[in-house]
Structure 1
Amino acid sequence: MSDHSPCLNCGACCATFRVSFYWGETDSAPGGDVPTQLTEQITPYRACMQGTNQPQPRCVGLMGTVGEGVRCSIYEKRPSPCRDFPFHGENGLDSPDCQRARAAHGLPPLPSNPTRPRLIPIVAA
């Protein structure tokens, strides 16, 4: 995550969505990284981060206050849904899920396409 990432003071996604993934991502499986003690088994093949399978989810790995300053306590060992979740504006793309999570926590929306480069039309002579 870059220093300009809005994720460093947001964390809304970690306190809005269930973070479920294949159980083989846990450290109880060969090659897995996600700490098993921080997960909950959903099915024989699916696990989720503790705290995210609740009516008011909040990942056990989230430290800090949503909207003020947060960090992931297992950032280097986070599961694939966390690695794959784009923040709004990442690579110049919109993320409706990011915006929805922010709204759920009363945070203002991030600007639309804040990093998308402007295209300048080429005029033929």
Structure 2
Amino acid sequence: MRIGGRPRLRCGTCCAAFRVSFYWAEAEAEAEAEAEADDGGGPVPLHLTDKINDFRRRMRGTWSDTPRCVALQGEVGREVGCAIYPQRSSTCREFEAYTEACNRARAK
């Protein structure tokens, strides 16, 4: 089954357990700066992120005491999907299931 063209997943714990930050250029360019080739232009929707500093951005919702990425849809542990799956950051792309970090999050 698919949710909006994305594979349906059951877990989603990583999306509701960790802080997600990434290099600023992975986010879409700001409208007024789109003409500059070195200003963003990545796939992550800018409106779903917050600026940390000049070099890093983070996914909204992941820097709270109870993190949950704003792009996560559904109920963790039952049926979830990522609203921006094809556009997700390298941090999300590189996170592997069943690793120590994954198992730690699932144990919570």
With the length of structure 1 as denominator, give the TM-score of the two structures: 0.71
Matches for 1:1-125 after TM superposition, within 5 Å:
8-28=9-29, 29-88=39-98, 95-104=99-108
> Separation in 2 of the partners of 1:68 and 1:11?
9
State the identity as a percent. Answer: 51
Deviations 1:65-124 (A, max 9, x none): 000000000000000000000001xxxxxx0101011111xxxxxxxxxxxxxxxxxxxx
Flag structure 1 segments of 5+ consecutive residues without an equivalent.
1-6, 89-94, 105-125
**Structure 1 outlier segments of 4+, above 3 Å:** none
> Separation in 2 of the partners of 1:54 and 1:43?
17
> Separation in 1 of the partners of 2:60 and 2:15?
11
- Counterpart secondary structure, 1:9: coil
Q: CA RMSD in A?
A: 1.2
Cα distance, 1:44 vs. partner? 1.5
Query: More relative contact order in 1 or in 2 (CA 8 Å, sep 6+)?
Result: 2
With the length of structure 2 as denominator, give the TM-score of the two structures: 0.81
Greater Rg, structure 1 or structure 2?
A: 1
Cα distance, 1:30 vs. partner? 4.4
1:99 corresponds to which letter in structure 2? Answer: N
1:96 corresponds to which letter in structure 2? Answer: E
- Counterpart secondary structure, 2:81: strand
> Separation in 2 of the partners of 1:51 and 1:99?
21
Aligned length: 92
**Matching residue of 1:114:** none
